[in-house]
Structure 1
Amino acid sequence: MSAPLPAAPGRVWAHVGQPFAPSPYDVAVVGAGRMGAAAALFLRQQAPALRLLLVEEGGLPNEDGATILAPGVWSLSGLAPEHHGAARWTRGALQALGGTGWEARELVSLHAEPAPGRVPTAQTLARWPDMGALVNPAALPWAELDPDAGMYRPGHAALHAAQAAIRAGADLLLNTRAAPQPGGGLCLERLTVTNTHQIVTHETHLVTARAVVLAAGAKGPWLAECALGVHTRHARAYRQTPHLAVPSGAHSPVLRAGGLTLRPQHGAYTLIPPLHGRDPHGYQPSGGGLTGVPTGLRRETLEDLVALMDAVPALATEALHLGRSLADVPGAWLALPGGRADGPPTFEPLDEHTWLLLGGPHADTLGLHAARELAQAVAETLN
């Protein structure tokens, strides 16, 4: 018996100059971040006979989404033991995907109190002499090391997963706003830019689909409520990632101190502050003041950094880029699965046609596994 022929590559519509003629699909995935792109890829792998459309409101990856600003730090540190298997599977999937910039990078968590497995911070950081200007071991004297941690680029993971899905036969529609319809299918608004740089709807289409996956990040629960009238328990929070201009090297570890993650990036550090909980509906992040000087950091983030200045003295120097407006400090809305800042990635059916897929704060470590589980559930439902 001859081997089955490989699937023909899917089609890509990047802008309104490419005519789009709606056709029926089996599955439509809304959102081409790493969660949506991975779900599309796994669906093509598990059920190649299903016709699949991947829709993204921006580009690939979306510069306004949370994927491109995600930490990209994989680690078992602080993760509940029941999630370790899913985390290890995700690490293998990231490495197999290729093009994600994966690199092994140790992670050092600093603590004020001793506990089993922790060693003196000064002893641990002696391997990295340049850390002396970054951390004050006297303020956080105990350290926990994860030698199996790693870093990667979530935006590249989304890009390569989407490209692999297209090669496997998925269609991709960019610069298109999508809303699920009661009874199945999507309303698509293809977007364009006017001469005055306004984003407007160029044309509208209705596409039928037997199943719709909402993988639009923090916008997913909003779509469920506004388009379908389905209320979920999920929430969102706004997270900024300021820059710390302290030199980092090819072997500098990832640091965690007081909930703050310092990720070596581009020869310096990107700061990933902790998430304390949901932001209320209608919340608009606003800046604060540091020694009377207005900054672009939201007040909650600024308070966190001020509280850590004794433990991480570099935060009290000009190396911390505060910005003068929100546009100066990168930030994005992040989904909170289950409404919790520590909620793991999850998926759930919203009705007989629609599924919700959320990554959230642990998407770096567990996201691809949740996307695969969703793909399996959708494929079993349709087959």
Structure 2
Amino acid sequence: MNTVSPSSAPASAPGQAAPGQTTSGQVWAHVGQPFAPRSYDVVVLGAGRMGSAFAFYLRGLAPHLSLLLLEEGGLPNEDGATLLAPGVWTARGVPENRKAEADWTREQLETAFGDISFQARPLIELFAEDGPERTPAAEALAPHPDALAMVDVTALPFAHTDAGAATYRPGALALAAAQMAVKSGADLMLNARAHAVSAGEVVIERLSVTNTHQIVVHETHRLRAGTLVLALGADGPHAAEHDLGVHTTHARAYRQTPRLNVPSTDDTPTLRAAGLTLRPQNGGFTLIPAVHHRDPHGYVPTGGHLTGVPTGLRRETLEDLVALMDALPPLGTEALGLGRSISDIPGAWLALPGGRADGLPLHQTLTDGVHLLLGGPHADTLGLAVTYDLAAAVAGVEERPWENAPV
């Protein structure tokens, strides 16, 4: 559960709008601010990247619809899968019929949300064998000596370069989208756990912290929602089944993002090998391991052992890194942050749409007026297009901006 932080966001009350302007929405940051339940046209559970982007797009498409965005934690970028998402846009792995959506998403990342640290940065994928559109790895890495020094090009002699790839901060996107949604009239409640008790009805539990740092339910409210969107990430499918009795095929997996303390700069490319992505970030690298399969119900993440020594990396991730240590020698040094327990390595539950490790973002109608919105492994590249598509459907808008985009 996310940490409740009552001071995470300032309160804002609606003011008088100037002619032609929209009144800003209300922000309830903590239980000290009284809340009077009312009906909303749309209620969104979860203010991570997908939920906040949906709210932002819906306010632009249908400003006449009242909207409430609910977040269990503090700021919408404070915790969870959004904060730890790779933030790597790449056309690699995108089906041909979704390329237009991916390109539109890239344009949105670059222009629509202000400073989210968007930066064009090539992605160089390395291979042991030759194949279509692959070039010698030494040649692809030559313009980037810092990256070349990390790779044994005799073990990974071939490369494919996505020159149009880019990086950004998903947490900053979530925060910016939520702020812009509020500015355009959406209401936002933080530190509030919500449950759908039926189609069209939501129970909100406002959370507070005791003197002994325990998170407790301070008060409970029930309100009506014409349309309900579950944007709870990996918890969304469970909420659909537990709260609404709707079974889905979706799943989740626990993904860790260890740190590799090898210097990187703004010019260092993103690297990928055998599914492992090395994302330059904060002067080093964040490692994004491949997701191989869904985790079974009830799985509790635990650290594995390396040469008998306990680490914070789960066994599957540890095995993948060990297999790459010869090809990427820094992985076999003290530069790799192993930790001693699971709590030492940042990690979060990742939604797997359709239960697939390569599942694409989607939205799904669960019952009349209730929608499930999932990001998953490809949320960086297609997530915004999927949120826009759902927002347009709720708003009754038929056109999609990528449908007539020039090729």
TM-score interval, normalised by the smaller of the two chains: over 0.9
Q: How does 1:243-254 map to 2 (within 5 A)?
A: 243-254=259-270
Residue of structure 1 in register with 2:161 after alignment: 145
Residue of structure 1 in register with 2:310 after alignment: 294
Give, in angstroms, the shift of residue 133 of structure 1: 3.1
Are 2:179 and 1:160 aligned? no
Q: Among 70, 74, 80, which residue is 1:59 paired with?
A: 74
C-alpha distance after superposition, 1:254-286 (max 9, x if no partner): 000010000000110000000001001110011
Give, in angstroms, the shift of residue 193 of structure 1: 0.6
Are 2:299 and 1:283 aligned? yes
Q: Among 11, 14, 27, which residue is 2:42 paired with?
A: 27
Q: Among 90, 115, 118, which residue is 1:102 paired with?
A: 118
C-alpha distance after superposition, 1:326-375 (max 9, x if no partner): 11100000000011011110001100121000000000000000000000
CA separation in 1, counterparts of 2:139 and 2:78?
41
CA separation in 2, counterparts of 1:204 and 1:280?
32
Are 2:362 and 1:349 aligned? no
Give, in angstroms, the shift of residue 62 of structure 1: 4.6
C-alpha distance after superposition, 1:61-83 (max 9, x if no partner): 35331000000000102222112
Residue of structure 2 in register with 1:268 after alignment: 284
CA separation in 1, counterparts of 2:132 and 2:321?
28
C-alpha distance after superposition, 1:18-41 (max 9, x if no partner): 011111100000000010000001
Give, in angstroms, the shift of residue 183 of structure 1: 3.2
AA at the equivalent of 1:107: L
**Residue-pair matches, total:** 379
For the 8 Å contact 1:124–1:143, the answer to whether it is kept is yes
Residue of structure 2 in register with 1:5 after alignment: 20
Are 2:116 and 1:83 aligned? no
Are 2:193 and 1:177 aligned? yes
Q: Report the 3-state secondary structure (helix = DSSP H, G, I; strand = E; otherwise coil) of the residue aligned with 1:321.
A: coil
C-alpha distance after superposition, 1:88-115 (max 9, x if no partner): 1101111222121101101100011111
Q: How does 1:187-198 map to 2 (within 5 A)?
A: 187-198=203-214
For the 8 Å contact 1:296–1:328, the answer to whether it is kept is yes
CA separation in 2, counterparts of 1:241 and 1:284?
17
C-alpha distance after superposition, 1:208-234 (max 9, x if no partner): 110100001001001100000000110
CA separation in 1, counterparts of 2:74 and 2:160?
39
Residue of structure 2 in register with 1:325 after alignment: 341
AA at the equivalent of 1:266: N
For the 8 Å contact 1:133–1:314, the answer to whether it is kept is no
CA separation in 2, counterparts of 1:80 and 1:210?
34
AA at the equivalent of 1:147: A
Q: Among 232, 237, 253, which residue is 1:237 paired with?
A: 253
Give, in angstroms, the shift of residue 131 of structure 1: 2.5
Give, in angstroms, the shift of residue 185 of structure 1: 1.9
From the superposition, tell whether residues 62 and 123 of structure 1 become closer, same or farther in structure 2 (CA, over 3 Å): closer
CA separation in 2, counterparts of 1:185 and 1:92?
36
Q: Among 226, 244, 255, which residue is 2:242 paired with?
A: 226
Residue of structure 1 in register with 2:63 after alignment: 48
Q: Among 202, 213, 217, which residue is 1:201 paired with?
A: 217
Give, in angstroms, the shift of residue 126 of structure 1: 1.3
CA separation in 2, counterparts of 1:52 and 1:294?
47
AA at the equivalent of 2:92: S
Are 2:356 and 1:340 aligned? yes
TM-score (norm 1): 0.97
Q: Report the 3-state secondary structure (helix = DSSP H, G, I; strand = E; otherwise coil) of the residue aligned with 1:224.
A: helix
CA separation in 2, counterparts of 1:78 and 1:52?
34
Unaligned stretches of 5+ in structure 1?
none
Q: Among 122, 126, 133, which residue is 2:138 paired with?
A: 122
For the 8 Å contact 2:77–2:175, the answer to whether it is kept is no
Q: Among 70, 76, 87, which residue is 2:85 paired with?
A: 70
AA at the equivalent of 2:200: G
For the 8 Å contact 2:310–2:340, the answer to whether it is kept is yes
CA separation in 2, counterparts of 1:265 and 1:138?
26
AA at the equivalent of 2:253: A
Give, in angstroms, the shift of residue 4 of structure 1: 7.2
CA separation in 1, counterparts of 2:266 and 2:116?
17
Q: CA RMSD in A?
A: 1.2
For the 8 Å contact 1:73–1:151, the answer to whether it is kept is yes
Residue of structure 1 in register with 2:14 after alignment: none
AA at the equivalent of 1:64: D
